[in-house]
Amino acid sequence: MPDQKQSKAIPTDEQLMQRIQQGQESAFNALYDRYSQRMYRYFYRMLGQSAEMAHDFTQELFLKIIEQPEAFDTGRRFSTWFYAVAGNLVKNEYRRKAKQPLQASLHDANHTPVSMAVLPDLDAEVRKTYIEKAVQSLRPHHRECFLLRYQEGLTVQEISEIMDCPPGTVKSRLHYSLKKLNELLSCVLGPNA
Amino acid sequence: MEPLTNNIEALLATKDYEELTKAERDQVAQSCGQQEYEQLRQVVLSGKSLREAPTPPTSLKANLMRAFRQKHQRRNIPLHTITLPFWQAAAIAACMVLMGQFVRFGPVYAQTPAIVWEANDSIWFKKVTQIVADTALAVFTADDQLKAPKEGEANIAATATAQLPTEKMLPQPVSDTPGWARRSALGTVENTPLLLMMH
């Protein structure tokens, strides 16, 4: 019973989208509060950690809901659809730039004159910077898989729907990205780090 | 590259090596070993640490809400998407019925005529009676002259009016006057009109 009451009180994403399609401003407000942080973070990581681009892309994403709410089929799962739309925006941006973003930054960092012996003593901020750079150095598909799975906490099945590829491919990409990050961050993420 | 098995990937996402059961540790031993598991687990945790990221500025929300309002102000909402509670629909229907009654009968004040003539006003009654009688006389006399029956034809009017109180009226002519008008003006034997009776 309490679950039923709660489900009545808190509308699902799909119900909110239905109300947005009817022009309810409060529904859009609620949906924004649920997803803005997540989508901003997603764009921020996928687009070279640029706050400006994350802002622009988050705005563009939500404008799509405002301009064409009918594009969402309320029979589908909203989060999957929304991440897929966000992923398409990112892909378009990559195509537009026609280059792979930020490939060499970690290698540059590895070649800095910082002694490896000092790395385990790095404070949390610097360590986080290394992790971010390592993630940025992944290929876009691998980075997207990694972020969706471990940053956003989505399941393999959901990621396969978002990226429109089989779950086996998602697992393979996850495995690759974990191994790659393990190589890049072994000095930072060691047991003494 | 061999993908991680479902189990190992799920374990990496949720458990440290120390939290694994014996069966799970056996699985890990067959797949990648304790050391690699712990390293990969650190990578996974580093991914979770990325959840701490800058937040969108408040101006973004304000812009989007403004855009939403502008969009939906000029938008025609399709009727089939409007949902009304039953009581609201019933209230609207009741209002429409009441409005219909108002239009049909008009407001209450309109039901009372501006000038009320009393039926027992003898002067008025006499004048109206005179007018009706004079008019009927003029019409039927003229009509009678124009459409006088020819010889040999049945004088229907004469036949019809034979039973009327002819001392009080002229013979009824054959005319195109509608029956209801004639009856109103001249009446019948059984039902002689009030106005002519007075005349």
Q: Three-state SS for B5?
A: coil
For an interface test with A, the pick among B32, B50, B61 (most A C-beta atoms closer than 10 Å) comes out as: B50
pLDDT of residue B1: 45
- Is residue A179 within 8 angstroms of chain B, CB to CB? yes
The DSSP annotation for B95-107 comes to: HHHHHHHHHHH--
Q: Do A40 and B1 touch (CB under 8 A)?
A: no
| Percent of chain A's residues with pLDDT above 90 | 40
- The CATH architecture annotation of domain A11-97 reads Orthogonal Bundle (1.10)
- pLDDT of B192 strictly over 90: no
- Is residue A126 within 8 angstroms of chain B, CB to CB? no
User: For residue A56, what is the nearest residue in chain B, using CA coordinates?
Assistant: B60
**From B3, B50, B56, residue closest to A151, measured CB to CB:** B50
Average pLDDT on B93-102 reads: 85
**From B3, B39, B54, residue closest to A175, measured CB to CB:** B3
The DSSP annotation for A66-127 comes to: HH-GGGS-TTS-HHHHHHHHHHHHHHHHHHHHTS-SS-SHHHHHHTSS--TTTGGG--HHHH
Is the predicted ipTM greater than 0.85, yes or no?
Answer: no
Per-residue pLDDT reduced to its tens digit, A131-188: 888 888 899 899 999 999 998 889 999 999 999 999 989 989 998 998 898 888 877 7
When pLDDT is cut at 50, 70 and 90, the band that residue B5 belongs to is low
Taking the C-alpha atoms of residue A189 and residue A35, their distance in angstroms, rounded to an integer, is: 30
Q: State how far the alpha carbon of A44 is from the alpha carbons of A26, A40, A52, B45, B160, in Å.
A: 27, 6, 9, 19, 107
Residue B127 lies in a domain: yes
Residue B139 lies in a domain: yes
Per-residue pLDDT reduced to its tens digit, B135-168: 888 777 766 666 665 555 555 555 555 555 556 6
Question: Which residue would you say has higher pLDDT here, A22 or A119?
Answer: A22
Q: Do B51 and A128 touch (CB under 8 A)?
A: no
A50 CA: distance to closest CA in chain B (Å): 10
Q: Three-state SS for A154?
A: coil
Stretch(es) of chain A classified as CATH 1.10.10.10: 105-185
Domain A105-185: assigned CATH number: 1.10.10.10
Taking the C-alpha atoms of residue B68 and residue B72, their distance in angstroms, rounded to an integer, is: 6
When pLDDT is cut at 50, 70 and 90, the band that residue A78 belongs to is very high
Closest CA relative to residue B8, chosen from A134, A138, A174, A162: A174
Residue B29 lies in a domain: yes
- pLDDT of A104 strictly over 80: no
Contacts of B81 in chain A (CB under 8 A): 21-22
Lowest-confidence segment of A118-127, A128-137, B32-41 by average pLDDT: A118-127
Residues 121-180 of B with CB under 8 A from A: none
Q: Do B68 and A28 touch (CB under 8 A)?
A: yes
| Percent of chain B's residues with pLDDT above 70 | 54
A156 CA: distance to closest CA in chain B (Å): 9
Q: Do A63 and B38 touch (CB under 8 A)?
A: no
Q: Which two structure tokens, joined as six digits, stand for A92?
A: 């378009």
pLDDT of residue A193: 46
Look up residue B100 and give its amino acid. Answer: G
| CA torsion through residues A63, A67, A69, A70, sign | negative
Residue B59 lies in a domain: no
Contacts of A132 in chain B (CB under 8 A): 50
Residue B69 lies in a domain: no
Closest CA relative to residue B66, chosen from A38, A62, A150, A107: A62
Number of domains in chain B: 2
Residue B54 lies in a domain: no
- Residue-number span of the structural domain to which B147 is assigned: 122-198
Contacts of A146 in chain B (CB under 8 A): 47
Name, of A93-107, A177-191, B56-70, B116-130, the range with top average pLDDT.
Answer: B56-70
Q: Are A59 and A66 in contact (CB under 8 A)?
A: no
User: For residue B68, what is the nearest residue in chain A, using CA coordinates?
Assistant: A66
Q: Which two structure tokens, joined as six digits, stand for B18?
A: 């120390």
Taking the C-alpha atoms of residue B31 and residue B11, their distance in angstroms, rounded to an integer, is: 12
